[in-house]
């Protein structure tokens, strides 16, 4: 029997494709995953018997998801929202991508140079409002913004991991496949 203090480390791998198995342009679809810091109490390693909760952010929201772990089973925790804060860097560009699709843009604070307001141009892409002419004058587009937004996610848990013998650290891979239907 394994040592009960053997720790589990969870690694996520995402793939997005169309119904025929072809890769999807990241401009049209996105899939990202992170451990759920709230449900996991800020833990990133787990002991046997504990559930590792994670958040699946997807765009478009009707993307079909298949989750396959290398060990254990997946629990369905429903759909939820979270507030996220991210710092984004404009360095001679007029657009930046966030880690998840935005349900609502809740606030923008500039740290240093104030480049003005931001506009949502794609579900996870922000653009500088107005004419900054970043292509011809990149010095007009240098700044760091702290962005606060609300994102929707699928809540899932990894549970029921088998107990291997003779190891002190046990990695579990979770593959998340997103299938985007044709229009």
- Are the beta carbons of 181 and 17 closer than 8 angstroms? no
- Provide the pLDDT for residue 168: 79
Quote the DSSP letter at residue 139.
Answer: G
pTM of the model: 0.83
Mean pLDDT, residues 20-32 taken together: 86
* Nearest by Cα to 178 from 11, 10, 21: 21
What is the Cβ-side half-sphere exposure of residue 181, based on CA atoms within 13 angstroms?
6
d(CA 118, CA 34): 25
Task: Identify the bridge partners of residue 152 per DSSP, sorted by sequence position.
Answer: 81
At residue 166, does pLDDT exceed 60? yes
57: β partners: 32
pLDDT mean over 15-28: 87
* Average pLDDT score over the chain: 90
Within 23-171, residue ranges assigned H as helices are none
21: nearest Cα among 146, 177, 168, 183? 177
């Amino acid at each position: 029997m394994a040592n009960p203090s053997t720790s589990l480390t969870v690694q996520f791998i995402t793939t997005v494709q169309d119904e025929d198995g072809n890769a999807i342009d990241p401009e049209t679809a996105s899939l990202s995953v992170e451990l759920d810091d709230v449900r996991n109490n800020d833990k990133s390693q787990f002991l046997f018997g504990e559930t590792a909760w994670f958040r699946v952010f997807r765009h478009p929201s009707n993307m079909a998801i298949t989750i396959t772990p290398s060990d254990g089973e997946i629990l369905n925790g429903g759909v939820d929202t979270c507030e996220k804060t991210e710092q984004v860097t404009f360095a001679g560009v007029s657009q930046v991508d966030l880690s998840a699709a935005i349900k609502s843009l809740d606030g923008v604070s500039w740290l240093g140079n104030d480049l003005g307001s931001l506009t949502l141009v794609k579900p996870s892409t922000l653009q500088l409002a107005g004419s900054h002419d970043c292509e011809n004058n990149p010095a007009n587009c240098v700044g760091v913004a702290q962005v606060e937004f609300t994102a929707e996610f699928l809540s899932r848990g990894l549970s029921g991991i088998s107990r291997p013998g003779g190891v002190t650290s046990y990695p579990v891979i979770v593959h998340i496949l997103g299938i985007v239907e044709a229009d």
